[in-house]
Amino acid sequence: MKLEAFIDGSCFGNPGEAGCGILLKNEDGSVVESAGVYLGHATNNVAEYQSLLHCLELAVRHGADSLAVYSDSELLVNQVNGKYRVKKAHLMDLHERVRRGIKKAAFEFSIQYIPREQNREADRLAHKAIQARSRAVHE
């Protein structure tokens, strides 16, 4: 199954109350799953990485053999694609977890930057999770 995902991490303040949103779609554009996850106190960059980690878990659970991820975080996309080095110690562990998750999942993977305007639904899910302060909000 080929899936595409729109992901976003968000926080109220930086650092502050954080959440992430994941919108997972199949080949024909139908929503397979949408989720928002409350993360507690974190930075925006941590929330972005957490959104990708949760996305990888969802893709595995749905049996993906291909996953195309879209994010409005240039930092995340460029670090995962190897264009930027990970310099911050608190992101190094998350980056390594993402790399291991991609390898373990054994599906075709890509991640691409998109403008914020094209990622509104994932942003909405992240904000909703923060506002609900729940561990997971599935729609």
- Number of Cβ within 10 Å of residue 120's Cβ equals 14
- Condensed to tens digits (0 to 9), the pLDDT of residues 8-57 reads 999 999 999 999 999 999 999 999 999 999 999 999 999 999 999 999 99
Gyration radius of the chain's alpha carbons = 14
Structural domains of the chain ordered from first start? 2-138 (3.30.420.10)
Nearest to 5 by CA among 72, 20, 26, 19: 26
Q: What is this structure's pTM? A: 0.94
> What confidence tier does 133 reach under pLDDT thresholds 50, 70, 90?
confident
